[in-house]
């Protein structure tokens, strides 16, 4: 039987590397483990949005301002609602253009569907709807070190981070005072 190694296990082989880097058999440094992937701090963000009844398809809900280096783990993120509309689907993404996919050659652009696509959230439910169909499920994404949200009117001014947001892909007959609750699993370096 053959033994294969994941990206983390490859770097953790004896005498090859220690978490965050270390000596190798030839005494030189090696490809260091990404601390965000191996020993990052895991947090959960719980955010809610209360419907006004005036929303329409294409509208955006800013959920969380993710700091540079942060990763959103869609496999452990979800949304649930209290009956927000007769029809409602959302996509979840971010507006970062400076980050990187952990592997692969996927171009880095702001993506409204980076974490989830086509989630049916119209009905009241007590069961969370897990994020699905986002590219970062198969290619993890890290918010860029240079991510900045503009503030004010001066070019180059802003706060560090990128908005993680939901977009109503479809929406019919929104109901005021009903709620969406988002739970994001956040890995911080």
Report the percent of the chain where pLDDT is more than 90: 49
What average pLDDT is seen over the chain?
81
Contact indicator for 169, 118 with CB cutoff of 8 Å: yes
Which pLDDT belongs to residue 25? 46
From the candidate CATH numbers 2.60.120, 1.20.950, 2.40.170, 2.40.128, the one assigned to the domain spanning 36-188: 2.60.120
Please compute, for residue 91, the number of CA atoms within 13 A of its CA located in the half-sphere on the CB side.
19
Alpha-carbon distance 14 to 83, whole Å?
A: 53
List, for residues 43-96, the tens digit of each pLDDT value.
899 999 999 999 999 999 999 988 888 899 999 999 999 999 999 999 999 989
3-class DSSP state for residue 55? Answer: coil
Alpha-carbon distance 144 to 158, whole Å?
A: 15
The more confident residue out of 166 and 33 is 166
Give the start-to-end residue ranges of the domains of the chain: 1-33, 36-188
Which residue's structure tokens are 């959103």? 72
Contact indicator for 91, 117 with CB cutoff of 8 Å: yes
Residue 22 has pLDDT above 50, yes or no: no
Alpha-carbon distance 166 to 168, whole Å?
A: 7
Which pLDDT belongs to residue 188? 84
């Amino acid at each position: 039987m053959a033994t294969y190694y994941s990206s983390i296990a490859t770097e953790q082989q004896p005498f090859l590397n220690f978490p965050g880097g270390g000596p190798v058999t030839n005494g030189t440094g090696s490809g260091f483990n990404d601390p965000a992937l191996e020993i990052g701090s895991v947090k959960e963000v719980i955010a809610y949005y209360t419907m006004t009844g005036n929303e329409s398809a294409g509208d955006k809900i800013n959920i969380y301002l993710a700091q540079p280096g942060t990763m959103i783990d869609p496999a452990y993120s979800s949304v649930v609602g209290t009956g927000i509309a007769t029809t409602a689907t959302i996509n979840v993404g971010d507006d970062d253009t400076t980050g990187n996919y952990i592997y692969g050659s996927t171009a880095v652009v702001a993506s409204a569907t980076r974490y989830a696509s086509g989630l049916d959230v119209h009905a009241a439910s007590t069961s969370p709807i897990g994020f699905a169909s986002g590219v970062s499920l198969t290619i993890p994404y890290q918010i860029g070190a240079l991510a900045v949200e503009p503030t004010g009117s001066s070019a180059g001014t802003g706060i560090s981070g990128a908005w993680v947001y939901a977009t109503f892909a479809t929406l019919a007959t929104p109901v005021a005072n009903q709620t969406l609750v988002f739970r994001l699993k956040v890995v911080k370096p």
